[in-house]
Amino acid sequence: MGTKIKEVDIIIDKAAPFAQPIMRHYRNLIHDNCPNVEEKIKWGMAFFDYKGPITHIAAFKAHCAIGFWKAPLLEEFSNTLQLEERTAMGHFGKIGGMDEMPSDEILIPIIMEAWRLNDENVKLPAKNKVVKEIDDSVPEELKIALSKAPQAQFNFEKFSPSHKREYSNWIREAKTEATKLKRINTAIEQLNEGKSKDWKYQK
């Protein structure tokens, strides 16, 4: 038997009448089947932890939501769980009453497997970080303009990659040809004087 805390009692007591039996039943189910579970409050929700978060339940105005911290590792239950990232929907969808609650026969194996994953310290797979590619290319229109302005080109080539990129992106992001032409002319004027794009704001 794990540890129950009064803060979870308060959350349940403040929940809508339809939600209270759902939350109490789920809470008891966890404690009856998962040794040494601790209750915690995170983001205003009741969490059940054992060597880290296992599962949580939250009550909303018209439904309850149950979530599993390591849902991506519970693939064997994919016919029951909605394994993609969930928020207010939870991994069982919206539960609007005890009659919409999954049966104990469904819940218990999932809860116990989630507990086992933490007990054996099974980690979630690392999320692939999206690396934003840096475009250091110079727009063709700017290249042509620089080729006609030797001093501007000389100063441009002396700039750091980040300063070159500021000019290139500024011109590349122009919405119309007129705006692009105006920006190119301004760039050449400033580059003739050895100024970076945002020289006015630099001390």
pLDDT digits (tens, 9 = 90+) for 90-133: 678 889 999 999 899 999 999 999 999 999 999 887 766 655 56
- Which pLDDT value is given to residue 198? 80
- For the chain, give every domain's residue range: 6-119, 140-201
Instruction: Please tell me the class of the 6-119 domain.
Output: alpha beta
pLDDT band at 44 (very low <50, low <70, confident <90, very high): confident
**Does pTM top 0.85 for this prediction?**
no
Tokens for 184, please give them: 């190119």
- Which pLDDT value is given to residue 12? 95
Q: How far is CA 29 from CA 115, 157, 178, 199, in A?
A: 13, 69, 68, 65
**N-terminal to C-terminal alpha carbon distance within the chain:** 65
Tokens for 194, please give them: 């050895």
